[in-house]
Amino acid sequence: MHHSRMRSAVLVLLLCAGLTADILPFHLAHQAHAAQFSTYDDVFFDALILKAKKKYKEAGELFAKACKMRPSDPEAWTLRAQMMLKTGRWKEAEDCARKAVALDKEYEQAFQYLANALLYQNKLKEGIAECKKCLALNPDNDWSKHYLRIAEQKLRLPITDIFYGRITEDRPAMEAIAKYLQEQKYDDAMKLINNHIAKYPTNASGYLKRAYVYEVMRRRDLAIKNYDKVLSMYPCQEEALDLRAQAYQAMKQAGKSVKDLIKLVRNDTDHWNSRFRLAFAYMEAGNFNASKREYTGLLKVYPNSIEGLTGRGLAHLRAKEYKESVADYSQAIKCDPDRSASMHYKRGLAYEKLGEKKKAAEDIALSKKMGYDPKEF
C-alpha cells in the first residue's frame, strides 16, 4: 500500500479475544441480516474470502458467477480478471479487464490488469498503451511504471518519463518546505509551496502539501480545492482520494466521501480497511442498506470484528431496526466486555425503543458507570 495510508484515520479491525485475523467462516446471525444481504452479495464476498485465502481458481469461479448475476458491476469483472492472471489464463483476463474498463473509465486496477494480460501475451504495444492509461489515472502505480519501462526496452522505444508528464521534484525546495512545516512556519512554507506549484503545475506533491497547510489552518474547504486539483489531473491518485474522503467526513458531508471511498476500495489491493470506512460513510450519508451490506460482508470475513458489529448495530439503530441492533451490540459486548461502555448505551437506546424499559435503564446506567458520555453519540 502507498505510504500515505499510514497517515489515514485507520479503522482497526478489533477481533474477539482468542481469534486471529485469519479469514474465518461466518453464518448470518439472523434472517434480518440475510434479507438485507442479496445472493449476489453473498457470492461476491465469498469470492473475496477465497481470494484472500489464495484459492484463486475457486475465487475465479465465484467471480464468474457474480459477473453473470450482475454484469454491470465493474468490480466483479476486474477481480475476475485478477484471478485469471493468477491462474495463467491471459486471454480470459484480457476479456474480463476490457469489460471492466468499458464500464468504468476511471478504474486504475482494471487498466493495470488489462496491461498485465496484454504484456503476458507479448502484445507489447497494446500493453504499453494500457500502462500509460493506468498511469494517467495514478502516476504512482508502481507496477505500471515498472512494466512500461520493460516493454519499451524490449521494443527499443524511447523510455517514457517515469512520472508520466510530471516533472521530477525540486528536492532542495521540498526539503525546505518540510523543514518549515516541522517548525510550524506555515506562511514561509506556503510561499515555497506556491512557487513549487507555479514551477511544476502537473506535480501532485505541491498541491498535497498546500492542502496539508490548509488542514492545519482548519480551512478544509481550501484543502479540498487542492485535492480536487490533483484528482482532476490524476483521478485515482490514492493520497488525494484518501485525504479528500477524510475531509468530507470531517465536514459532515459523508455523501461526497462515498465516491472517493468506492475508488479506494476498488484500487486498494489491501481493501478491508477502506471497506470499513466505506460502510461507515454510507451510514453517515443515510444509506443504511448500503452500509449494512458492507458491514455484513465484512463480518463474513471477520465474524467478531467489534468495528463490524458496532457499525452494523448503529446502522440498524438509525434505520429503526431495534431487534437487529440489540443482537449486534449484544455480540459486540460479549466479544469485548472491557470496552463496551458505548455499546451498552446504544443497546440501551434500542431496548428503550422496543419498550423494554428495565433493560434499557440497566444498560444506560452501566454505560455511565463505565465513563461513557452520551453527548458523544
pLDDT of residue 297: 93
What are the pLDDT digits (tens) for 68-114?
Answer: 999 999 999 999 999 999 999 999 999 999 999 999 999 999 999 99
**37-154 fold:** 1.25.40
pLDDT of residue 193: 93
In the block, residue with C-alpha cell 444506560: 364
When pLDDT is averaged across residues 186-215 and rounded to a whole number, the result is 92
What pLDDT band is residue 334 in, cutting at 50, 70 and 90?
Answer: very high
What are the pLDDT digits (tens) for 65-75?
Answer: 999 999 999 99
Whether the predicted pLDDT of 9 surpasses 70: no
What are the pLDDT digits (tens) for 229-257?
Answer: 999 999 999 999 999 999 999 999 999 99
Domain 169-201+203-251 carries which CATH code?
Answer: 1.25.40.10
Residue ranges of the alpha helices (H) in the chain?
Answer: 31-36, 39-52, 56-69, 74-86, 90-103, 108-120, 124-137, 142-154, 171-182, 186-199, 204-216, 220-233, 238-250, 254-267, 272-284, 288-301, 306-318, 322-335, 341-353, 357-369
Whether the predicted pLDDT of 3 surpasses 50: no
What pLDDT band is residue 163 in, cutting at 50, 70 and 90?
Answer: low
Report which DSSP code applies to 161: P
For the whole model, what pTM was predicted?
Answer: 0.84
Same fold, 37-154 and 169-201+203-251: yes
Domain boundaries along the sequence of the chain: 37-154, 169-201+203-251
Q: Which of 150, 137, 80 is nearest to 113 (CA)?
A: 80
